[in-house]
Structure 1
């Protein structure tokens, strides 16, 4: 990783992600991650922002990780996640992992993915669990409670493989 001035541009950030996910499309997901890392909205991630984000995502307690993840899902920063925001992030995750490419595989191709597992169906499942008051948006509190109550959701929405403390 070559950042002689101590700042990481979005372009360089995407290049790094592509190395880890060569079979997927990294751009959309990286845009969301980059926005969340770039705390001062400068268009670059400086060393301090990078360390803070890595510290939270790698070593933070489950609630801190979830607050950080919520910021990523809350694309317009209005304090809640609507269905469109959730769908955009879920689609970008599927693209990153190459999941949507599996959907478009030729007939008879062997894939490990359930054809009913779409970003739209996943978004609907998440809202069914998390939107406690059925008002069409997920608040930070609903997001945290929903993830803490469901290990699979926690791991999927935070990209974490550890078990959240209960």
Structure 2
């Protein structure tokens, strides 16, 4: 039965008929539904993974922002600690300087008081010694005068007493 068709055309027709029968069998057994279901499942799985990836990305952004804020707070805290330590060091230095100046002033005053006391003691000793020397000189002078004019002075004193009694 050759209807005037050459062999290549007949082969093409039979291949087309075979393809239509194959597609019909595939449709009959529900292969397109299976393929669609497999593709839908695969699409759903990819969508779930994309959603999970997006959630992880958002979480990572939130964590990054949180850690950035913590880092900034830590830097600010460190700067505050350094500033406080610097202020404390200046305050302690000023206190130590004031304390040292007060100590030097007290010691200077104590030394000046000791010097003044030593001067007063030296002056008192000089006066005491001068008084002792003056008393000794007066005693020696009186002894000499008494030795020379003693009898005359006694006579004069007796006359003065007698004159006063009369």
TM (norm. structure 2) is: 0.15
Structure with more contact order per residue of length (Cα contacts < 8 Å, sep ≥ 6) = 1
Higher strand content, 1 or 2: 1
* Greater percentage in helix: 2
Larger Rg: 2
TM-score w.r.t. structure 1 length?
A: 0.15
